[in-house]
Amino acid sequence: MRVVENCGCFPTGKHYPGIAHLVHVQTAGVAREFPADGVWMDYPIAFIDTETTGFDPKSERVIEVAVVLGKGGEIIDRKSWLVNPGKPIPKASTDVHGLTDDQVVDKPSFAAIVAELFLALEGNVVAAYNAPFDRGFLQAELERAGVTLASRPSAFHEDVSWLDPLIFARELFKGQGESRALGAVAQRLGVVHERAHRATDDAEAGLQVLYAMSRDARVPRTYAALIQEQRRLERSQRQAQSFWRK
């Protein structure tokens, strides 16, 4: 199998009749369950958000997880779990999301909700706003819970990219001098976002932002093209950040 960054068949860019059916080309970052050339808006999407005890997934824990399901621009379902993190919630974190120790003391551990979470993600393209944050915390929790890589959904495999509207927000609104935080981007796009920093509300606003961005001609329509453009923008943004740190 050959993994590529674009949809060409060979390094020369030429197609070779008679052997094309023997070559399996997988676009980098695309989940195998979904046709790369399909319109991503038509695919079921599971938009994830987490609330945590802090910022470092190595030492901090997840206390809330939400998955908002959508398809074709419409919200289909919402699922959420409060989680006992097994450690006190710092006041600085409570000041952000409002969750306290009393609200999670009788809730299940993360390991106890894994099966339900995986079921919610099954058959969906996974997305998150600032995906590395949520993905990093969930991966860390799965490791603590002893969930093997082989038993995780493909969305948690390293070769699959999550859709991340933050990356597109940085590009679409570049040079406009406003925050790229979810609330600011939602307001700019006319998306209602009533309770910031609660997982369900953030996940729903994030999915609505993603759908709103689909109306911009600069956002690709097919799944593979969207992932490839996202990966290109992410590389460019990382390079720019590295330059300004010097």
Average of per-residue pLDDT across 91-116: 97
Q: Helix, strand, or coil here: 233?
A: helix
pLDDT of residue 16: 43
CB 125 within 8 A of CB 43: yes
Partners of 127 in the β-ladder: 47, 163
Task: Report the amino acid identity of residue 62.
Answer: V
How many helices (DSSP H) and strands (DSSP E) are in the chain? 8, 6
Within 8 A by CB and 6+ apart from 231, the residues are 5, 28, 29, 161
> What is the per-residue burial (b if ≥16 Cβ within 10 Å, else e) of 113-132?
bbeebbebbeebbbbbbbbe
Domain 38-245, second-level architecture: 2-Layer Sandwich (3.30)
Q: Look at residue 176 in the predicted model and tell me its pLDDT.
A: 78
* Tens-place pLDDT, residues 204-231: 999 999 999 999 999 999 999 999 999 9
> What is the predicted pLDDT for the residue at 245?
62
β-partners of residue 69 are 46, 77
Q: Is the pLDDT of residue 76 over 70?
A: yes
Using CA atoms, how far apart are residues 246 and 240, in angstroms rounded to an integer?
A: 10
Question: Percent of the chain scored above 90 by pLDDT?
Answer: 83
For 56-65, the pLDDT digits (tens) are: 999 999 999 9
Domain ranges of the chain: 38-245
Whole-number Å distance between alpha carbons of 16 and 60: 52
Q: Does the pLDDT value for residue 18 go beyond 70?
A: no
pLDDT for position 19: 45
Average pLDDT over residues 17-37: 72
Q: Are 219 and 239 in contact (CB under 8 A)?
A: no
Backbone Cα Rg of the chain? 19
Can you say whether residue 20 is alpha, beta or left, with left for phi > 0 and alpha for psi between -120 and 50 degrees? alpha
Q: What single DSSP character describes residue 39? A: B
pLDDT of 14 above 60: no
Out of 6-20, 77-91, 111-125, 139-153, which region has the weakest mean confidence (pLDDT)? Answer: 6-20
Q: What angle do CA 176, 202, 131 make, to 5 degrees?
A: 75
pLDDT of residue 101: 98
- Mention every residue, 6+ apart, whose C-beta is less than 8 A from residue 6: 27, 228
Q: 157 to each of 43, 139, 147, 149, 174, how far by Cα in Å?
A: 19, 10, 13, 7, 31
Cβ atoms of residues 125 and 163 within 8 Å:
yes
Predicted local confidence at residue 102, as pLDDT: 98
